[in-house]
A and B are shown apart, each in its own frame.
Chain A
Amino acid sequence: QKEVEQNSGPLSVPEGAIASLNCTYSDRGSQSFFWYRQYSGKSPELIMFIYSNGDKEDGRFTAQLNKASQYVSLLIRDSQPSDSATYLCAVNPPRGFNKFYFGSGTKLNVKP
């Protein structure tokens, strides 16, 4: 079982719609969760992190965490073509050094 699982996509949404990206993780004790955006040929860049159950909003982005279901999601409101990228979910396990497990990413296409 993979530590972090994501649907590889591609997920296609029209411009202006809400894009919903999902991620599940295997270690129930995990405490820190991150969403990274990666444009083709570029390095991952942090969008958001979330530690507590519930929602965390930052501009057009909302991260949602449900520890009981071991589920993290990222909502992108008013999607723009510039949001087209691969979105990586990362999880920080509860013990040991500050290690990050990454999912394989979901490719998002926002159509004009």
Chain B
Amino acid sequence: NAGVTQTPKFRILKIGQSMTLQCTQDMNHNYMYWYRQDPGMGLKLIYYSVGAGITDKGEVPNGYNVSRSTTEDFPLRLELAAPSQTSVYFCASSYPRDSTRSGNTIYFGEGSWLTVV
């Protein structure tokens, strides 16, 4: 039961570097999300996708890009890393709103800890 898998778990970046956080899910969920969580704070939505080929911005999209070429994969790209992007990143997935499966809930990956120095 893999669920939502994220890699890498930990990464240190230098200011100005770029990297991609990988995310894959095996639950055949249509919807996928990227959140960031700063220390002591809640989850902020960065980008989301309602299906392959469709992505949209969330609350805090600046400095990030995403793509969704398959149902399973939803990578998050950080361009020109800045110290403000130091955070924990969670990928998540869910069924569409009207589905009664799984209580219409959202499932999270284990998180990726990113430090920009």
Contact = CB atoms under 8 A, between A and B. Distances in A.
Interface of A: 4, 8, 32, 34, 42-46, 49, 88, 90, 92, 97-100, 102-105
Given A42-B111, A92-B104, A97 B48 contact: yes
A90 B106 CA distance: 10
B95 interface: yes
Contacts of A102: 35, 42-43
Contacts of B105: 34, 46, 49
Interface residue range, chain B:
20 to 34
B97 A92 contact: yes
Contacts of A46: 103, 105-107
Given A44-B90, A46-B106, 4 more contacts: A4-B42, A45-B108, A98-B31, A104-B42
Nearest to A107: B40
A98 B42 contact: no
